[in-house]
Structure 1
Amino acid sequence: MYGDLDAIERIGVVGAGTMGSGIAQVAATAGYDVWMRDIETELVEDGLARIDDSLARLVDRGDVDEGTAEDARERIRGTTELDDLSDCDFVIEAVVEEMNIKQDVFSSLDDLLDADAYLATNTSTLSITTLASATERPEQVVGLHFMNPVPIMDGVEVVVGEKTSAATTELAHALAEDLDKETWEADDKPGFVTNRILIPWINEGVRAYDEGVASKEDIDRGMRLGTNVPMGPLELADHIGLDVALHAAETLHEELGDRYKPAYLLKRKVAAGDLGKKTGVGFYEYDES
Structure 2
Amino acid sequence: MLLVTVLAIAVLVSFIQLLIVFSKNANAKCDVAIKVFIWVNIASVIYANTVHICIVNELNGGENEMDGRRANSRAAFTYEMGAHFWSILLFLSGLIITLEAETCPESTPQLYRAVERYVWLGFVLSLCWLVTSFSTVLFVFLLRHSVISTPNAAPEGTLDLCRSIKLGDEVTSVALLGPSYLENTEEATCCICLEAFGQDEEVRVTPCKHLFHPSCIAGWFRVDHTCPMCRHDITSAEAPQPSMASPAPPSFSLGTPAEPEEATDPSISAVHGEGSSMVQLAITSYVAQSPDVELTNEQKEEQHQVASASAA
TM-score (ref. length: structure 2): 0.21
Bigger radius of gyration among the two: 2
